[in-house]
Amino acid sequence: MKIKSLDAREVLDSRGMWTVGVRMVLADGAYAVDSVPQGKSTGFHEALSLPAAQAVRNINKVIAPKLRGKNFASQTALDDFLIRLDGAPNKKKLGANAILAASMAFLRASAKVKKVPLWKHVNDVYLHEGKSRSGDPVKPGAPRLFMNVVNGGLHAGNNLHFQEYLIIPKTKSVKASVEIGTTLYHALGAMLARTKGKVATNIGDEGGYAPDFKDDLEPFRILQKIAKQLRLGKAIDFGLDAAATDARLSKEDLMHFYKKFTTAVRPLYLEDPFPEEQFEDFAVLTEKYGKETWIAGDDLTTTNVRRMERADAEESVNAVIIKPNQIGSVSEALDAVRAARQYGWKVVASHRSGETNDSFIADFAWGVRADGIKLGAPARGERVAKYNRLIEIEHEAR
């Protein structure tokens, strides 16, 4: 896998902000084009992404010259080289976005050299590199779709404290899940237009509807009513990404809400129910509701195995979000998946609120057989690109 060239440029994300795009060419002519997403709701312990212009300069002036002409035997070898080149624990010198762009491009180009779909190559790297060499029987497969149909918090300009209201189809087929999700999504839009006015169908950062609501539970009451009308009540589960670090509610207010939420909704999934340093409060909630509900860490764990070790030791969560750009390389994201499996946690791969049309995360989730994947609403091109890629993978994998 000798690298011939690596070129970076600034590209726009879904919020009209600049992010990093790259094109890598290997010696045999195989090439890859990738771009890096970026989040608005970010954990304090995430690897540091630099401003796009600075990250692009670092790729073109520092990373590319060091990679040009070098032969890397594996994804781990390439990523380790980039991490050493930066030298900082949080990747502040070159930028997590700069390192991840090169890491993703090398993975995609390597799949082309092997003449296999990206998800197959992800699975091969997952199984045969890093800690998984000790034996992890995970085969590639479809994740459940965690579809964000109502946006709040930092992702919208409405009065909801919480960030993502999720519907989770129960079918094992991606295509069938998308059909259920789009049916509910459009029915929700129609009901909001009738009951709250046409302005209520305006959307937030991830494509979910974003009007004001009577309270933080009203979106679920509306979704339950629609699901019953469509006879889909038994075909979906519900979930919530509270993103509580940014919710600005007290621990007592949060606990009171979760008691009402779990009683009224019986959710499958609850993400970041408390701010990012409150491991003990997570543990209390996991002890109370964890038998029925996935209590997931995101800002708490930041795809970082050290943070995950603490969460496991304190029994804070039973599920984890995996975002490659939180940690800054493919290999480290795979290490986080391996750690989660060792702890017996559910694995949920995730996009970011500032996305591009790059569908990398769909192949990643399928390759590690994530239990779930978050892509936003089944609307907006940058989200639809990933849903369509999952449908395509499902066809490839037959």
Catalytic residue list: 206, 323
> Are the C-beta atoms of 285 and 258 separated by less than 8 Å?
yes
List the one residue out of 269, 285, 12, 257 whose CA is nearest residue 166.
269
Dig out the tokens for 316 from the structure: 């804070």
3-state helix, strand, coil in the chain (%, to 5): 45, 20, 35
Determine how β-strand 144-151 pairs with β-strand 372-376: parallel
Residue with tokens 């992800």: 122
CA distance 332 to 103: 10
> Are the C-beta atoms of 242 and 297 separated by less than 8 Å?
no
Helices of type H across the chain: 52-58, 64-67, 75-86, 96-114, 118-128, 174-196, 218-229, 251-265, 279-289, 305-313, 324-327, 330-343, 360-367, 381-396
Number of C-beta neighbours around residue 283 at 10 A: 18
Order of strands, sheet of 3-12, starting from the edge strand that comes earlier in the sequence: 3-12, 18-26, 31-35
Return the amino acid letter for 377.
A
CA distance 49 to 42: 11
DSSP per-residue codes, 246-276: GT---HHHHHHHHHHHHHHH--SEEE--S-T
Residue 153 CA, distance from chain mean position: 17
CA distance 97 to 86: 12
